[in-house]
Amino acid sequence: MAKVTELVAGLARPAVEEAGCELWDVEYVREAGTWYLRLYIDKDGGVDILDCERISRAVEPLLDEADPIEGSYVFEVSSAGAERPLKRPGDYERFMGSPVAVKLYRARDGRKEFAGVLAGYDNGAVTITMGGAPMTFAKEEVALCRLRVEF
């Protein structure tokens, strides 16, 4: 049986794309005793509140009809954000050369977070350049890799 997030992505993607956006991610999580179903969207030039509202209004009836989730939950639509996590190989390919932050499960050289420029991705292993020197983190080490905004 497909996961809730996969089912919801399949239902939502056509409506999101019809609104001129891209479905970045679907999250179904429990926080403080409440379940949340979140759609993260993106588009060239950025997402605004009107995009979120339009997609919410289009997707909510689809969810009501298909009823892929037992029980109650809070439904939210939001921007993927400027410092979004990179999850799929295509995300890494798309943002190659961009500033990123890599968080590790365990410290390496006394640190758990490294900032640099995304220089490579190979089957889960992430390579960044820091001060011109490459540093590679194995898939098993990486807890999170996200875009980083520099000022």
The pLDDT tens digits of the residues spanning 82-95 come to 999 999 999 999 99
Q: Which of 79, 99, 116 is the last residue of a domain?
A: 79
Residue 98 near residue 147, CB atoms below 8 Å: yes
Q: pLDDT digits over 16-48, tens only?
A: 999 999 999 999 999 999 999 999 999 999 999
Where does the pLDDT of residue 1 fall: very low under 50, low under 70, confident under 90, or very high at 90 and above?
Answer: low
User: Does 140 lie in the same domain as 108?
Assistant: yes
List helix spans (H) across the chain: 4-18, 49-66, 89-94
Do 77 and 19 meet the contact criterion of CB atoms below 8 Å apart?
A: no
112 lies in which domain range?
Answer: 89-147
Residue 139 banded pLDDT, cuts 50, 70, 90: very high
Residue 120 in tokens: 């490579």
CA distance 122 to 134: 14
d(CA 70, CA 68): 7
- Supply the pTM of this predicted model: 0.83
Are 69 and 29 within one domain?
Answer: yes
Whether 140 is covered by a domain: the verdict is: yes
- Any idea what the CATH number is for the domain that residue 97 is in? 2.30.30.180
Residue 145: count of CB within 10 angstroms of its CB = 22
Mean predicted lDDT score pLDDT of the chain: 94
Same domain, 21 and 44: yes
Q: Are residues 56 and 20 in the same domain?
A: yes
Asked whether residue 13 falls in the same domain as residue 59, the answer is yes
- pLDDT for the residue numbered 2: 66
Same domain, 67 and 105: no
> Is the pLDDT at 8 greater than 70, yes or no?
yes
Confidence of residue 150 (pLDDT cuts 50, 70, 90): confident
Q: Rounded to whole angstroms, how far apart are CA atoms 86 and 76?
A: 20
Residue 84 lies in a domain: no
Please identify, among 79, 111, 129, the residue that sits at the C-terminal boundary of a domain.
Answer: 79
Domain boundary among 79, 99, 123: 79
Domain count of the chain? 2
The first and second tokens of residue 53, run together, are 């509202």
Q: In what order do the strands lie in the sheet with 142-147?
A: 133-137, 125-130, 111-122, 99-108, 142-147
